[in-house]
Amino acid sequence: MIEELRIRDLGVIADATLPLGPGLSVVTGETGAGKTMVVTALGLLLGGRSDAGAVRVG
């Protein structure tokens, strides 16, 4: 089980840590808050292909 997801420099997310507990975890937020980037980060963690355009410059 994934207990925590740390995302850095991906899309609109500069640095975020999401604790994940047992059961269902739900991500909510305003438009442009980075919900899709959380799903993208999970995909990368699970071996998905990377898109260089999603990585923050800097």
Q: What are the tens digits of pLDDT across the range 6-36?
A: 999 988 899 999 999 899 999 999 998 999 9
Task: Please state the domain extents for the chain.
Answer: 4-49
Tell me whether residue 54 is exposed, middle or buried, using C-beta atoms within 10 angstroms of its C-beta: 0 to 12, 13 to 18, 19 or more. middle
**Secondary structure of residue 30 in the 3-state scheme:** coil
**Secondary structure of residue 16 in the 3-state scheme:** strand
- pTM, entire model: 0.76
How far apart, in whole angstroms, are the C-alpha atoms of residue 21 and residue 9?
A: 24
Nearest to 29 by CA among 11, 43, 46: 11
Is it the case that residue 50 has pLDDT exceeding 90?
no
Type and span of the H or E element at 38: helix 35-45
Confidence of residue 5 (pLDDT cuts 50, 70, 90): very high
